[in-house]
Amino acid sequence: MSTDLMPNRYRPGEVSLPEREAALIARRDAVLGASYRLQYRKPVHFVRGEGMWLYDPDGKPYLDFYNNVPSLGHCNAEINAAMAAQAARLSANTRYLEPRVVEYAERLVDTFPAELDRVIFTCTGSESNDLALRIARLATGNEGVIVSAYAYHGTSAAVAAVSPNLGDAVNLSPSVRIVNLPGPSGIPDEQANEFFEAEVRAAIHDLRRRGIGIAAFMFDSIFSSDGVWIDPPGFLNGAVAAVREAGGLVIADEVQPGFGRTGAHFWGFARHDIVPDLVTLGKPMGNGFPIGAVVGRRGPVETFGVTARYSNTFAGNTVGIATADAVLTILQRDRILDNVLTVSETLRKGLEQIASRTGGILGIRNAGLFFGIDIGMGASLPAERRAMALDVVNAMRDNGVLISTTGANEDVLKVRPPLVCQDEHVQLFLRSLEDALRIITSR
């Protein structure tokens, strides 16, 4: 496991920078907290975005194949118009009667299985996951939470304590149990369900022995921070049954896979043919505007609502709702999921062709437009694979294409372009990746 909190980052003195960027970094370092880090060895400086592109002060375009927040493209004109129109009319919270929040909530739950029919709005994915944990712990009377080995679920104190991804300096809660995924454990697909169920049952047993009990199994169904270990579909089923048998709730963190990212389904959990008890939403919900939600079964949501106080000044505000409503309208009206399936197939075929003629790609995994690409050469060591992946990312950055890395060893390319990606963008990405691989593998 990499011990660097952000391997793909700028390190002072490692590269020379133009005076304009060097001066801005100096000002930034003098006023911002040390937890802020700049991505890429040579930081990128942007002044505007449009669709699939970001532009630096000199007008140089960068193809964004990494940013899943503006899922419908940077500065989408229709979404921005809806946001501005509502801001000019009314910005209010959910303690006042206002029809649009109800109308959007109705539209949102219509995209879910019928069992999930209640919504609580938040501002961010971290806040959604924090609230979901509160609901689960109150509804079950237990504290225990089961997560995957390198999971990331947010930045509040509660969800940081269930996020192994954040590093050894962030203490995990004593009530957290970590389970291994079948993919990185080398388990064949036909044994994946049985393996993962056994992992979860062992975690449940340990929680019970220590008098903690199971409140929830929380998972990101695309397992992005674990390295995009998503297959085979259905390997979660036995684990879900075990959690429910033990009285716990199932929380699907859809901040990464939700709103059509996987293409075949609006929500990532559907790929595994399960219905969670609570679903958490964030990032792409507002295409950049901070809005999130918890969608859940009536039982636990109502139990929480009548026994605990939850109020949030900005969650569900009318501007955020208008923005999210525009996002949902475009996703459905423009059949964005169809585009995701078509473009992702083109991208996967292109990656397979590159792998067949160029060294450096050890594996390709994807669900729709979320790809994990294993980087390395044959029997290369973990440190060598990580260094090679970072070299690829930064070579592509220098060529005007943005991606990053993920996984416990940070040797997996994380590729997740906006859902409006088209064939010409895919071809540009593929050319940049192949060029980078050829240069790096020929050293």
Phi and psi, residue 293, nearest 5°: -165, 160
* Interatomic CA distance for residues 230 and 190, integer angstroms: 14
Cα 311 to chain centroid distance, Å, stands at 26
pLDDT for the residue 22: 84
pLDDT in tens, 174-224: 999 999 999 999 999 999 999 999 999 999 999 999 999 999 999 999 999
State both tokens at 343. 């473009």
Task: Please give the angle made by the CA atoms of 412, 270 and 51, to the nearest 5 degrees.
Answer: 55
State both tokens at 113. 């299985």
Question: What average pLDDT does range 306-329 have in this prediction?
Answer: 93
The amino acid occupying position 86 is Q
pTM to 2 decimals?
0.95
Cα 2 to chain centroid distance, Å, stands at 19
DSSP structure class, residue 171: P
pLDDT for the residue 39: 85
Q: At what angle do helices 382-398 and 423-441 cross, to 10 degrees?
A: 130
**Domains, the chain, ranges and CATH?**
44-74+336-441 (3.90.1150.10), 77-333 (3.40.640.10)
418 burial (CB, 10 Å; 0-12 / 13-18 / 19+) is: buried
CA–CA distance from 393 to each of 3, 63, 369, 427 (Å)?
Answer: 19, 13, 18, 17
pLDDT for the residue 4: 63
Q: Which residue has the tokens 């011990």?
A: 3
pLDDT for the residue 5: 62
Q: What is the CA radius of gyration of the chain?
A: 22
Question: What average pLDDT does range 289-297 have in this prediction?
Answer: 97
Phi and psi, residue 352, nearest 5°: -65, -35
Cis peptide leading into residue 232 (ω within 30°): yes
Provide the strand spans (E) within 113-232. Answer: 116-122, 144-148, 176-179, 214-219
Question: What average pLDDT does range 319-338 have in this prediction?
Answer: 97
State both tokens at 202. 């062992």
Q: Please check whether residue 216 is in contact with residue 251, taking contact to mean a CB–CB distance below 8 angstroms.
A: yes
Partners of 179 in beta bridges: 148
